[in-house]
Amino acid sequence: MDSEFARETSLLLGVNDVSPVFEQNAAGRSPFLLTSDHFGRLIPKPLGDLGLPESELVRHIAWDIGIAGVAMRLSQMLDAHLVAQRYSRLVIDCNRPPHVASSIPRLSEATTIPGNEGLSREDVELRRRAIFDPYHRRIDAVIDQRAHGRRPTILVALHSFTPVYAGVARPWHIGTLYHRDKTLPPLLLQALRAEGDLVVGDNEPYAVSDETDYTIPVHGEARGLVNIGIEIRQDLISDESGQQQWAERLARILAEIEAKLLLQPTA
Ligand SMILES: [Zn+2]
């Protein structure tokens, strides 16, 4: 696979470049499998800065601010496998079907991305083969492996959202995102509301759909896994203490939910 990877992606990522796939705790024993599509904000060298100033490349349009710190802590606390993606969503969005326009956005919020203008079919294919495919192939393989070993998998897709989008402030501290799963969303919503100090979004600020999402529909729903997306507001997890607090809270809640699921035949 390494040689295939090097050959396929030689024009965008070489063997000396950082792999798009970041993993932690691959031998973790938890049924929870954590994913993070917008974990990093690297840009492959041949793409330069995509024509954007640094001030744009650190904003939420480039990645999910704060989620890496939450995801890594949560993976440790739960003893759960984390599979995450290190390159910027501005290069290719790993939570979009590759055929939709927002896969390689030319506009994000109010920012046009010069490096994404006028791409050839080949340019698009290169990004997909270098970043999108290895990440999703890896998640696929991990789920296969777990199924083969008769280990249960509960897919949890971790994201963060900007507190203000297009001038509109968002009231939620955390949101649950789901579509077809009927098992986990009500349990998580109930647990988050029981915390008492949270404004909880029910499919807010986003809902999951086949056109606007990839990880949940493809790895969760199509494979019949219990699944959920979690969105945490970025100002709450912009520093390490916030990341630690939210990881602790989610670890406690998810452990309680795991115990409940074990009592149900669907688990
Ligand atoms: Zn995200």
pLDDT in tens, 31-40: 999 999 999 9
Q: How far is the CA of 265 from the centre of ligand 1 (A)?
A: 31
Rounded to the nearest angstrom, the distance between the alpha carbon of 38 and the centre of ligand 1 is 5
Host H or E run for residue 244: helix 240-262
Q: Please state whether the peptide bond connecting residue 205 to the residue before it is cis, i.e. omega within 30 degrees of 0.
A: yes
DSSP per residue, 163-221: SEETTEE---SEEEE-SS--SHHHHHHHHHHHTSS--EEES-S----TTT-SIIIIIII
Say how many Å lie between the CA of residue 263 and the centre of ligand 1.
31
Residue keyed to tokens 């984390």? 82
> How much of the chain is helix, strand and coil, in % rounded to 5?
40, 20, 45
CA 4 / ligand 1 centre spacing (Å):
28
Q: How far is the CA of 208 from the centre of ligand 1 (A)?
A: 12
- Amino acid 262: pLDDT: 80
Long-range Cβ contact pairs of 105-112 (< 8 A, separation 24 or more): 108/61, 109/61, 109/165, 109/166, 110/166, 111/52, 111/56, 111/59, 111/61
pLDDT of res. 267: 43
CA–centroid distance, 67 to ligand 1, in Å, is 8
Q: Whole-angstrom Cα distance, residue 19 to residue 1?
A: 13
Distance CA 70, CA 222 (A): 27
Cβ distance 12 to 130 under 8 Å? Answer: yes
pLDDT (tens digit, 9 = 90+) per residue, 117-138? 999 999 999 999 999 999 999 9
Helix (H) or strand (E) holding 33: strand 32-36
Q: How far is the CA of 267 from the centre of ligand 1 (A)?
A: 26
pLDDT digits (tens, 9 = 90+) for 160-219: 999 999 999 999 999 999 999 999 999 999 999 999 999 999 999 999 999 999 999 999
Q: Is 8 left (phi over 0), alpha (psi -120 to 50) or beta?
A: alpha
Question: Residue 61 C-alpha to ligand 1 middle, in angstroms?
Answer: 10
Q: What are the tens digits of pLDDT across the range 55-97?
A: 999 999 999 999 999 999 999 999 999 999 999 999 999 999 9
Tell me the pTM.
0.94
What is the Å distance from ligand 1's center to 210 Cα? 15
